[in-house]
Amino acid sequence: KYAILNGKMIARSEAKVDVEDRGYQFGDGVYEVIRVYNGKMFTAKEHLKRFVKSSESIGIYIPYTIDQLTESLEELIEKNKLHLGTIYMQITRGVAPRNHAFPTADVSPTLVAYTKEVARPEDSLNSGVKTIIMEDIRWLRCDIKSLNLLGNLLAKQKAADEGCFEAIQHRGQDVTEGSSSNVFIVKNGVVITHESNNLILKGITKDVILQVCTDNNVPVEERTFTLEELEQADEVFLSSTTSEVMPIVEIDGKKVKEGLTGPVTRKLQELFEREIVKQCGN
Ligand code: PMP
């Protein structure tokens, strides 16, 4: 398999960075994960726009246009004969003697992309997943898709330790998001999810869901909701690039309704699949 490192297509096994890469030492960079269905990228433009935005928000400037990035990722998919999977890409501030302050402008960023074959999580999409609730201990710029993921990792590991798929995080009484997903509740037919501000990552999947809701007259509210609303919800689901529209059937050992995927969640799963087919065929 191949990877792209700083604009060059090389063998995946040859893709190496220096120990003083600032991504390695400080997590000083940002990343994206793009889904590939049927050999085609889903919502590529949205992901690449977010990549540029995240990157520029920490003062790293990507030396390629979105069109150039798209073209080289398409080349990578083809080279790796990727049919169903993901592209991981990240950019760091580059290699420089270790020092917290940014290096001088002559240091160029390190940009890498590689692919992985990933099936769709059919079983979980059908039966739903279990979750735990935990305090959100992350920083206040969760809108940046930063390589610094310690808060997210600790949350995900606690969920894993308890045999769960995801941790639903909250700040005080307010539910924010999962460790690697956005969280939605459904109450009386209304779909509710946290507004996209500095406390959550503006999920590309979340935006697709909001759009299909609007297009199909499913009432939706983008606003903060509380732990109490979570507990009293008719349906709960999470969304991410790899999890798509994933039903949550248990929270902290308590079943959501009867522990079955709810009708609104099912409908959104169907509408989401239609978007996949629209963009990537089947
Ligand atoms: N929030 C966090 C913290 C995430 O890591 C992710 C997954 N990248 C998401 C939300 C969902 O974002 P997306 O739908 O773009 O994958």
Q: Write out the residue range of the structural domain in which residue 51 sits.
A: 2-117
Quick check: CB of 201 below 6 Å from ligand 1?
Answer: yes
Give the number of the atom of ligand 1 that is nearest the alpha carbon of residue 179. Answer: 3
Is residue 156 annotated as a catalytic residue, yes or no?
A: no
pLDDT > 90? residue 34: yes
Q: Which of 117, 147, 180 is the last residue of a domain?
A: 117
pLDDT, position 257: 87
pTM for this prediction: 0.98
Residues 153 and 273 in one domain: yes
Determine the average pLDDT of the residues in 37-51: 98
Residues 55 and 194 in one domain: no
The answer to whether ipTM exceeds 0.90 is yes
Nearest CA to ligand 1 atom 3: 180
Residues 127 and 256 in one domain: yes
Q: What are phi and psi of 29, to 5 degrees?
A: 180, -175
Q: What's the token pair of residue 203?
A: 């999920």
Residues 217 and 247 in one domain: yes
- Regarding beta strands 244-251 and 129-135, do their DSSP bridges make them parallel or antiparallel, or are they unpaired? parallel
